[in-house]
Each structure stands twice: as C-alpha cells, then as structure tokens.
Chain A
Amino acid sequence: MKGKNLSVAQLLYKYRQLLILAALCIFFAAALPGMFFTMSNFRSILYSMSLYGLMICGATFPVLLGGIDRTVGAVAALSGAICCMIIVNSGYTNQGVVLGILAGVGVGMLSGIIHGVIVAHFDIPAFLLTLATSQVIYGLVQVTTGKELIVVMKPALFTDIGAKRILEIPVPVYVLLICFIVAYFLLNHSTYGRRIYSVGGNREASKLSGINVKRTTITAYMMSGMMAAIAGIVLSSMNQQALSYAADGYENDVLAAIVVGGVSLRGGAGTLQGAIFGSLLIGMLNNGLRLMGVESIYHNFIKGIIIIAAVAADMYSSYQMSGLKHRGGKKHPHKQAAGENQ
C-alpha cells in the first residue's frame, strides 16, 4: 500500500531521467526543426552510443563495488588490434574472424582479471591503478601493431558487425542489446549481482556474511574488461581498421554516463538501466550540439558541467543519508526518533 501511493514529487523524482531525456528531446527538436527528430538521426545517436553502452554494461560492475575501471578505452584498442591482426594473419578467413573475436574478448577478460586481482589483494586505489595501467595497455597496443594502421576490409563476417543493418537497425545496437540483457540479468537476477550490491554497500558486513569479497571484485573487473573488449571489436569493425588510439578518452564519457545515470561512485547504489540512460543523455547531447553547429570544444565544457552537477547531487544525497550533517542538523536525530515511535 505504502509503495503505490507515491506523491507527485516522488513520481517526478523516480522518473527524473526519462523526464530530463524528454525535455532534452523537445529542446533539440524545437531548436533543430526537421533535423533532430528524424529516424535517421535517432539511428545515428543509437549507433554512436552503442559503443559507450557496451562499455557501460561492463564498467558499471566495478563502480557498483565502489571501484572504477579507467582502462576501458585502452582495452578496447588492444582487443580491436589483436582481433584485426589475427584476421589479417589468417588471410581474411571466417575462421580468422571467429578466432580473432575470441582472442580479443579473452585478452579483455584477462586484463580485467589482472586488475581485479591487484585491486582485491593490494590496497591500491582503483582509480590510480587503472589510470596507470591504461597507459601500459596503450603502450602494448603500439608495440603489437608496430604503430601502424591495420586495415581489415573483408571478410563480410567481420565488416558486417559494424556496417550492416537488420530491420533498419544497425548491428552494433543488437550487440549492445544482447550485452545489456546479460549484464542486466547478472545484476538483477543472479546471486552474483546480489553480492556485487552487498559488497559495494558494505564490504566488511559482506565479508562477515560469508561473501567472498575478493572473488566478487575480480569477476567485476573481468566483466568490465570483457565488455570493453567487445566494444573494441565492434569499433574496429565499424572503422574497418584498428588503430592504437581509436577509443582514446572513451573512458571519460563512459564513467560520466554511469555517474550521470545515478550510480554512486562510492558503490552499492544505482542501476545499469540508469547508466544506459546516462549514456543516451550524453549521446543525445553530443548529437544535438553537433547539429546545432556548436564547436566540439564546447561539448566537453558542457559535459563537464553536467558531470559535476550529477556528482554533486550524488554526494549531497548520500551526505544527507549519512547522518553527518552537523550545523542545523539537529533535525536528524528527531527524525530518527520519530521513526522509532511508529
């Protein structure tokens, strides 16, 4: 009973992401008549956000644990490069494509496992660790590719991933959909997902409840590496080439979308759907601003401000929850006491 009679304010709050998205749509549609609100433009928004979305499907896992993975751009470059090299070396055969994809995804998972092991066993902040290792991985990409472009224009099995449409919708969007369903299922319907939220919500309490915190951490980074690798392969197929800096800076937009989507950087709170909404928002913003002819430097400027606002809102709401509010904060004990009397 209690859950159903939401007030208007609560309803607005609950669907705030959809509302913001709708408002943005209306704004751009009005500002760009005949350009923004078209099928082809929406297709292109979805097409360009599919890469970010894929990375988000993985990178949300470590963020939910209170960690972070900044290597997603680098891992995408590495897996793309490895996949393309294997295809080239196989003489552009279909077996080469399958092998390349498996190897690329495998390398991404391996990278994630290594990061997870380091984060779980040593007390290194994930932010610093992954900032440093992403440089290492970029270096690795340059070494493996010999700093050269690897062009792969055949076979179709590979190029179709990035270029083909099924029912007017680009294949990368389907790839995203599948990965989203997998990640969504894991987070919402598996015991593994329950463990992620529990460890992110309180590490020590989870440990004392018998959860293997280390294993949970390692697999979370593995998921992140795997999804980044899939994104990297899709990206190289879209470009029909692999180059070392293809996905450079993607990690910023990915993490921005996750935060804008309401996933707490301190872990334990937020949803994958929220994060995907975040990426839709950023994708739509990028698209709209570009169509309006706003220079790309200002894109970053605007995105930066949005991220600050999202993080500030997140910090403020959890600060209110924490009971640390001091000045004029005497309301808090009263509120709790009132709760006791119910």
Chain B
Amino acid sequence: MMHNPENLVEMRGIDKRFAHVYALKSVDFEIRRGEVHSLLGENGAGKSTLIKVLTGVYPKDGGEIYFDGKPVEINSRDDAFNLGIACIFQELSLVPTLTVAQNIMLGKEKAKLGVLQKKSMNREVSELIKRFDFPLRAEDVVETLSVAQRQMVEILKALSTNASLIIMDEPTASLSSKESEMLFRIIGQLREKGVSILYISHRLEEVFQLSDRITVLRDGQLVGVVPKEEIVPADVIRMMIGKELSEATASRPLKVSDAHTVLQVRNLTRLGSFEDVSFEVKAGEVLVLAGLVGSGRTEVLRSVYGADPIDSGTVLFEGKPYRHSVSTAIRLGFGLIPEDRRTQGFAPLLSGTRNVAVTNYDKLSRLGVVNAKKEKQLGETMVKLVDLRPANPTVPVGNLSGGNQQKVVLGKWLTRDLKVILIDEPTVGIDVGAKDEIYNFIEQLAARGVAVLLVSSDVAEVLRVATRILVMRNGKVVHEFNDGVVTQENILLVSSGMAEDHRTEAKE
C-alpha cells in the first residue's frame, strides 16, 4: 500500500470484534493534513468504535495504523495524546474551579525553584487565545464559562500540546445556533493553521457545510468517501442507510387511526426543553416521536408521564386532565420504558421478581403487607410473558444481558391494565434477536388497544413500528407523517432540518 504523504492518519483494514460480533470489519480510513473530515453513519455503524480504536481506548483485532507516514501502535489514551491526537469531550476533562490558564497548563505547570510562575503561564495562555481570537481570558474561572467557551478551552488545551488532529464528537449537541456558528469559525481557523479535524455529528446540515471529505460507515464497514464537491445530501443519506435495507424495511405505509383518542397533548411547553407541542395518540396507535438526540423528545415523554414539570399547556387522558405526578399516571394506566435502562429502568442488585413487582404492589399486598406467594407468581408470569433468559426470576437483573434487562423493564407494565405506554429508545445496545422480540411486544400492546408513544433515533426502528410519525427539531414538532408511505430518507432529511422541499406529506 502506497502512502499518500498528504495523509496525517491512515487506518488500514481495521477489525474490531466484541465477543464474536464484528463492530468494525476491515475498515480503511484516512485523514489528510489540515482537512475537516466527517465520519457519518447511523447508530451502531461503528463510528465511535473506530474513534476508540484511534484514541487507544479499544485495542484493535486487526489492521494497521499509520501516523505521519509511520506505523504506530496506539494502546492507550496517552499513546494517542503523545502522537498529537486530541479528543474534545463535553467539558469532561476540565477542572471547573480552576482558571482557563490553570486548566490549559495542568500537568505542565511552569515553576522556578518549586514556585509557580503564574504570570508567565497566564501570558503564554493569553498569547494562545489571541492567536485564535477566542472570546476568553486566561484568568476566567472555568465554571463561570458557557458550554461553548468550555469547548474552546478544551480546544486550546489540545492546541497547547501541539495536537495535529482534534476529534470532535457531537460538539454542537448542547450549543445554541449562535455558539455553533462560532465553533464553525474556529474549525475554519484550525484548518487554515494546518490542524486536522475529525468531526462527528448527527446534524447532517453541519456535516455537509463543514466537511472537506466525508467517510460513510454502515454496519461496521466502509461504504465510501465523498469529497466536498461531490456531496449530494440524498445520496449520502442513501449510503448511510444502505440499499439492501431500503428495499426491505426502509419504507412504511402510515395511516390515521379512527379509534378513540386516549392521550391528548395540547400546547405543552417546558422552557428550555420543548415548546408548544401538540398531538394525540389513539388506542392501538404507535405514534413515534422522531428527530435528533437533544430535540426535546425525551423531555416531552417525561412531562406527559408526570416525571418532569411543565410550564404551560395541558395533557388529557381520555378527555380529562389528571394530576401531574408519576403515581397518578401509573394508576390511570400509564407505563414508561425510560431512555437509559441502567440508570432509570431497574435496580441491578435486585432480582427480576422484585424489579417487576415494584409497579404492582397495589395488587400484591394488603394493608401494606406483601403477599409473597403472589409476588413469586408474578415473577414467574413475567418470565413467561417476556421469555426471559435465563428463565429464572431470582437472578439479579444486573447480571442479565442488555436485551433481557430491557425485557424486565417491559415486564413491569405487562401485567397491569395498561392504557398508555411511553417508550424511549427501547433497543439501544440490544442485539438483533432481542430487538425483534421487543418490537413484537410493542405490536402486541398496540393490538391490545394500548396507545403507544415511542421515541426513537433509529430510523429503521421508526419504520418498523410506527403507524404515525412526528418529527421534532429544537424542541418543536416540525413535521407529521401520517399518510401514505414514508422512507428513511424522508425522516432523516426532516430531522436534520434540510427538507423544506420534503415538507409535503410523502406520498407514492
């Protein structure tokens, strides 16, 4: 293989397996000096695995990495750092109580006879700031800065170590559009100074606007590299989704149900999270809230459930308002499968039975005394209902696989008289087989007449289960697909805000 001297990083034939599943299969990837290179792919395509291999977090199972034309072994973050590879995480590596200068000089402080040379360090950092014209002062304390400014400190920290590659993973996720513009300007300056940027974002608009080249991954494999001149958004999206898929599950017919309305949300607003959200969910319907991470979907779900406060608007259950609290919602027949099952879904040290029983003690107890026999029966029923493996309700849920953990979370609600189920990203980190089982449960619930409101960022999943789709962007519902056939492309284009021309209902 000839090395192109323009390349700063070359990864050749990278393999990475988890157990026996390939997360990356023979992936080639290169970044040139002074270019902004974006990595695109759907959730689970292998983007973060590739970055983790590059930054030494995961060991690779095969392939070579060249940096500056020389073969290198990157076995730890330190190795990557020493080569000049820096990763910008959301405010993770900064000490909030120290100043900008102290943070940047952390670990490489200047001292004379053991006395810190504050002035000279501040001067050095000030010069660095001036060179890039950042709106910062060396003496600012980090905790008083905005998220965008903290990111700039991270970037400066990377630059102060002469990083030649800066990796930015979803850097705009928590920035306002004005702050994002500032970041893009900075990225432009870095490129001019010969620094390479590896950029990852779900926001396709940004990616297309910023990138010199785009590498597309799908299912752990390289699909192609697209230079700026050749970017056609619809084509790139097609590359991400894949042809084989698009024939099988990439489109779905939708319809408006004529069943009775179970849940009615009117002009719901929670300042800073979502605004003026209105929709209805009917019995037996699966209404999906699609959109990008951070578009306010989870927050809508939690507010409807009574877990988060609302500032204005109303939620009606079967035509009537209800007290805004979780216990009331549960009593009415609501259930929630939360976004992150580990932190919100189950207690890892407790058994499956105990986890499932938590939402059922109204039926399992009398005068506050638990009926242990009924409780045990419930555990056994749950195992059968969700086909738990191993089929043992006494195992601590923390010891189960991700898919089975999610089944337990689902099991909390299945024996109740459910009217509404709110489901948030139900299959993140779950293997394919268990995913299908979970979709089947969702369909069964809908068939029973339960109103299903589901949040998902996985477009294939949206099309697998939806009967109607709302797309949210920046806290607002921007589009509804309720009629005809919808494709993955339609949803992605609307979600990322590039679809003025796709706003009419997709019909075929």
Contacts and interface: CB of A to CB of B under 8 A. Distances in A.
Interface of A: 2-3, 189-194, 197-198, 200-202, 204-212, 264, 268-269, 321, 333-334, 336-337, 339-340, 342
A172 B326 CA distance: 44
Q: How large is the interface on B (under 10, 10 to 19, 20 to 34, 35 or more residues)?
A: 35 or more
Contacts of B399: 321, 339
B394 interface: yes
Contact of A337 (B19, B327, B398, B412): B19
Interface in B319-364: 326-327, 329-331, 336, 338, 343-350, 354-355, 357-359, 361, 364
Contacts of A340: 389, 401, 403-404, 431, 434
B49 to A, nearest CB: 13
A73 to B, nearest CB: 29
Nearest to A264: B349
B359 A339 contact: no
B354 A210 contact: no
A321 B307 contact: no
Interface in B283-325: 305, 307
Contacts of A3: 394
Contacts of B331: 210
Interface stretch (B107-115, B228-236, B366-374): B366-374
Contacts of B392: 2
B281 to A, nearest CB: 19
A255 to B, nearest CB: 20
B35 to A, nearest CB: 33
B400 interface: yes
Given A208-B307, A210-B327, A334-B19, A201 B347 contact: yes
B327 A212 contact: yes
A3 B379 CA distance: 15
Given A194-B370, A204-B344, A208-B338, A342 B326 contact: no
B18 A191 contact: no
A208 B369 CA distance: 22
25 contacts: A189-B369, A189-B372, A190-B369, A191-B361, A192-B368, A193-B370, A202-B343, A202-B348, A204-B343, A205-B343, A205-B346, A208-B344, A209-B358, A210-B330, A210-B331, A212-B327, A264-B349, A268-B349, A321-B398, A333-B19, A339-B390, A340-B389, A340-B403, A340-B404, A342-B389
B351 to A, nearest CB: 10
A336 B404 CA distance: 11
A140 to B, nearest CB: 33
A123 B326 CA distance: 21
Given A198-B358, A321-B398, A206 B347 contact: yes
A199 to B, nearest CB: 9
8 nearest CB pairs, A to B: A201-B347, A337-B19, A202-B347, A210-B330, A340-B401, A210-B327, A209-B358, A191-B361
A210 B20 CA distance: 40
Given A2-B392, A192-B368, A205-B345, A197 B350 contact: yes
Majority secondary structure, A binding face: helix
B336 to A, nearest CB: 6
Contact of B358 (A189, A194, A212): A194
A201 B350 contact: yes
Contacts of A342: 389-390
A268 B412 CA distance: 19
B359 A210 contact: yes
Given A206-B358, A340-B403, A340-B431, A269 B349 contact: yes
Contacts of B354: 194, 197-198
Nearest to A211: B358
Contacts of B394: 3
B307 A207 contact: yes
A310 B357 CA distance: 31
B365 interface: yes
B356 to A, nearest CB: 10
Contacts of A334: 19
Contacts of A194: 354, 357-358, 361, 370
A3 B393 CA distance: 11
A321 B398 CA distance: 7
Contacts of B402: 336
Contacts of A268: 347, 349-350
Instruction: Find the residue from A193, A202, A206 having the highest chain B CB count within 10 A.
Output: A202
B48 to A, nearest CB: 16
A264 B370 CA distance: 24
Contacts of A192: 368
Nearest to B433: A340
Nearest to A2: B392
Contact of B326 (A193, A207, A264): A207
Nearest to B331: A210
B20 to A, nearest CB: 8
Contacts of A200: 347
Nearest to A200: B347
Nearest to B343: A204
A342 B399 CA distance: 13
Residue among A2, A3, A264 having the largest count of chain B Cβ atoms under 10 Å = A2
Contact of A191 (B307, B348, B368, B412): B368
A142 to B, nearest CB: 38
A204 B401 CA distance: 21
Contacts of B400: 339
Contact of A321 (B348, B350, B404): B348
Contacts of B365: 190-191
B327 A201 contact: no
B273 to A, nearest CB: 17
A190 B350 contact: no
Interface string B400-419: 11111000000010000000
B238 to A, nearest CB: 33
A207 B336 CA distance: 11
B22 to A, nearest CB: 13
B347 A205 contact: yes
Nearest to A198: B358
Contacts of B370: 189-191, 193-194
B160 to A, nearest CB: 28
A191 B371 CA distance: 9
Interface string B1-41: 00000000000000000111000000000000000000000
Nearest to B391: A342
Contacts of A198: 347, 350, 354-355, 358
Given A198-B355, A201-B349, A208-B307, 7 more contacts: A189-B369, A191-B361, A205-B338, A209-B330, A268-B347, A334-B19, A339-B399
Nearest to B20: A337
B348 A201 contact: yes
A205 B368 contact: no
